[in-house]
Chains A and B, each alone.
Chain A
Amino acid sequence: MIYFDNAATTGKKPDMVVKAVAGALRKNCVNPGRSGYKLSLETAEKIYEIRQKIADFFGCEQAENVAFTLNCTHALNCVIKGNLKSSDHVVVSTLEHNAVMRPLAKIKADFDFAEVSLFDDEITVKNFAKKLRKNTKMVICTAASNVVGKKLPIERIGELCKERNICFVVDGAQLAGIEKIDMQKMNIDFLCVAPHKGLYAPMGIGVLLSRKPLYDTLIEGGTGSSSISFQQPLTMPEMIESGTVNVPAIFGIGAGIDFINSIGTQRIAKYEGKLCTKLFRGLQKNSDIRLYTKYSPELYAPVIPFNLRDISSEEIARKLNENNVAVRAGLHCAPTAHKYIGTLGIGAVRVSPSIFNNESEVERFLSIINKL
């Protein structure tokens, strides 16, 4: 199978991740942070090391500000519902996922869209600046769109937020691990990560990194601390980690970061950019293909949306599946992004290679598409 659905989840995990997860299942199925026996404490120490590794990887000052959540959506919900109340003003980009839009709708936040230019970051930054008000509480933007792949100028948007003392939240689901994200350099207050994507970890785990306090919790329960009280402790990371954490998946994140560090994010980005460039140029040669971006590795994450003639995107994905090619079609849980590129009615086929794909798979894919 040619797996080109890596924007949904990296389909192949590095051997070191598989070994770390299997090792945890064999040796560390204990509850860390609850007990005092040797293996529980050893596992807690290992988890602390991984918190530190994640903090270092994303430029977060303190290991305790790295919290494990159920997934990236859960992390975004923690930030949005833990910091905002009804009618608070928020600015979001026109490329946001429903993981941002639905929590905002649920709490009845007063949100404005800042239009993202697919070609000129200066325009994007100006659009964000225009939408900011004196009472803006938060700016939330994706680091890279899961539909069109456009990387947002988050460092520039972070500067805007810092100048105005506005909380800056980044949805790093599509870019974390693929390119360097440095919270301090980019003035990011909260970074939400989907480790099963660019960090090659298993599914069922998310990471929330914070540089500002959270004021409320999404769920409450056992934290292994101050248990005589019915009040939820408000110290990170335990305040949002009620219940037993996913030890094998956390070990997988640690190994995933080791894998990335052993290659380097620049080399990974360069390789994936090369595959995407070949894909894009190949698709451009087919006059029946409709493309929505002008892909370049500098401006885009390794994601290319397209449509073929007037055939529905789901139908194209089905035909590709018959040819043993895995892609994602439809709206990708991001109707705002599809509305922006004019594909809300038909969706799009999304192709997203990873470091585990190769040029011959790109060539085979193009050959299959050209026959449809």
Chain B
Amino acid sequence: MRSYSVVTGTITYAIKGRDLLRRSGFKARIEKITGSSQNIGCGYTIIVSGDIESAERTLRNAGVKILQINEI
């Protein structure tokens, strides 16, 4: 199963997004991002496995701000 890094930037959206994804049946956890690799600086990302299109839809429908999505 493919895994993705969904960069939300803030810890608040990361927690909200992770909880939403878990409630929708995804495996999800939060990690701190590294500034140089994401070209964003400090912030947080949700590591999620599975259907990324469905995961993204779940997050965007709930108003979670997404800065980037990268396959890992």
Contact = CB atoms under 8 A, between A and B. Distances in A.
Interface of A: 32-36, 41, 44-45, 48, 51, 62-64, 223-229, 233, 235, 237-238
Contacts of A63: 12, 16
A233 B63 CA distance: 16
Interface residues of B, number: 20
Given A41-B30, A227-B35, A51 B41 contact: no
A237 B12 contact: yes
Interface string B1-42: 000000001111101100000000000001110010001111
A176 to B, nearest CB: 22
Contacts of A62: 63
A51 B9 CA distance: 18
B15 to A, nearest CB: 4
A45 B22 CA distance: 15
Given A36-B31, A41-B30, A64 B13 contact: yes
A226 B43 CA distance: 6
Contacts of A224: 10-11, 42-43
Given A36-B31, A44-B11, A226-B9, 19 more contacts: A33-B12, A41-B30, A48-B11, A62-B63, A63-B12, A63-B16, A224-B42, A224-B43, A225-B10, A225-B42, A225-B44, A226-B42, A226-B43, A227-B35, A228-B39, A228-B41, A235-B9, A235-B65, A238-B12
B12 to A, nearest CB: 5
A235 B13 CA distance: 9
A113 to B, nearest CB: 37
B67 A226 contact: yes
Contacts of A228: 35, 39-41
A33 B40 contact: no
Nearest to A37: B32
Contacts of B30: 41
Q: Give the interface centre of B9, B12, B32 by most chain A CB atoms within 10 Å.
A: B12
B35 A48 contact: no
Nearest to B39: A228
Contacts of B35: 227-228
Contact of B43 (A45, A48, A64, A225): A225
A226 B41 contact: yes
Contacts of B10: 33, 223-225, 233, 235, 238
5 contacts: A33-B44, A48-B15, A227-B41, A228-B40, A235-B10
A233 B16 contact: no
Q: Give the interface centre of A33, A227, A229, A233 by most chain B CB atoms within 10 Å.
A: A33
Nearest to A237: B12
Given A48-B16, A63-B16, A228-B35, A33 B11 contact: yes
A303 B25 CA distance: 51
Contacts of B40: 226-228
A36 B34 CA distance: 10
Nearest to A239: B10
A32 B11 contact: yes
Q: Which 10 A-B pairs have the closest CB atoms?
A: A36-B32, A227-B41, A228-B41, A33-B11, A225-B9, A227-B42, A225-B43, A225-B10, A48-B15, A44-B11
Contacts of B39: 228
Interface in B36-57: 39-44
A51 B10 CA distance: 14
A289 B42 CA distance: 61
Contacts of A229: 41
A33 B11 CA distance: 5
A229 B39 CA distance: 10
